Amino acid sequence: MQYRRSQTAGGTYFFTIVTDARRRFLCAPQNIALLRTVFTEIKTNHPFTIEAIVILPDHLHCLWTLPAGDFDYSMRWRQIKSAFSRQCGQQCKGEATRARVNKKEQPVWQRRFWEHDIQNELDFQNHVEYIHYNPVKHGLTNAPADWQYSSFQRYVDHGIYPYDWGAEKPMKFGDTTGHE
């Protein structure tokens, strides 16, 4: 069976992107800076809006909205992953897996990524909350506000969340929200 990706032109999508073998290097300061640079470069030539994002040591989640008439998020992710991989230091490069050793690749990212086409405002809200709560879910912090590699503070600044959102009690998300 062949997987078919959603293709809603101008749609909003949730993504999960994972490092190869779940190696934990994304939150190194130089890699955060590189991710920001790469995202900015790709957005210049192929616009999209980052609605929400969180970067964790071994994966990232984000919500993008594409321009009207455009559904090619795969090309954008291919360019982002490729540019980051080319410029990333040795701590990003892992042992080449057997499947890749013949191509002499040093994998940085898992080959595939997870995407979900956002269906409505509630689906959007659930995925934004999932993104911002993810560092707490993974035990990296006790509150979303304590994780610096996230769009959470932007949501606080715009009055969408109180500063202490997500710090009171564990949050649960349904089967249709998020993907690890």
Please identify every residue annotated as catalytic: 149
Q: What are the E-state strand segments in the chain? A: 12-18, 49-55, 59-65, 114-117
Distant-in-sequence, close-in-space partners of 57: CB < 8 Å, separation ≥ 6: 24, 25, 26, 27, 140
